[in-house]
Amino acid sequence: MMRRVLFICVFLTLMAAIAFAQEEGEAASLSVPEGYNTVTGKGITIQWKVEDQNLRVRMAAATTGWIAVGFDPSNRMKDADIIIGYVQDGEVFLRDDFGVSGTAHKADEELGGSSDISDAEGREENGQTLLSFTIPLDSRDRYDRALEAGKSYKVILAVGGKDGFGGYHSTKRTSVTLEP
């Protein structure tokens, strides 16, 4: 319980400290909490750390639409464990998806799997969206990719201009390497 309270306090403090970029395409400037790693690409910032058997993730981008991350795709979006989310009227919406092809994804639950997202939080302010969540390193869901601490993985990032769980991202997409 104390660990959760501490995490919430740190998260709220960091939210207050975000310095927002002025130009579209620049990522929100996030301070880096202790133990987190950070990568920024195409205006999307992702931060992560392993905690017990879970991966804690924070993402920020210059959008009032959705942000998505896809872990370990085989080809473009195919086979990626995708977490996509947005904030609307102060409420956070996150969905656990699976890359069913190189250009499409569906909700794990729609495919017969489960949603394995916990600790979902987020905020939208001054044209910026910040999301945070936790996923298990290995959920044992056939529509999630098992991750191992210390191994490197390709991670895809994308941003959309509208709220929802889909819509084309145009050139607002990139890939980075993440090592949990």
**pLDDT tens per residue, range 115-168:** 999 999 999 999 999 999 999 999 999 999 999 988 999 999 999 988 888 776
| CATH classification at residue 99 | 2.60.40
Give the type of residue at 10: V
Residues 128, 32: Cα–Cα separation, whole Å? 17
Residue 115 token pair: 């949603």
What domain range includes position 9? 2-178
Residue 18 token pair: 């975000």
Give tens-digit pLDDT for 58-90.
999 999 999 999 999 999 999 999 999 999 999
Give tens-digit pLDDT for 47-62.
999 999 999 999 999 9
The β-bridge partners of 51 are 54
Q: Residue 166: phi, psi to the nearest 5?
A: -160, -170
pLDDT reported for residue 9: 35
SS3 21: coil
Residue 180: pLDDT band by 50, 70, 90 thresholds?
A: confident
Return the sign of the alpha-carbon dihedral for residues 159, 126, 134, 13: positive
Q: What is the pTM of this model?
A: 0.81
Count the domains in the chain. 1
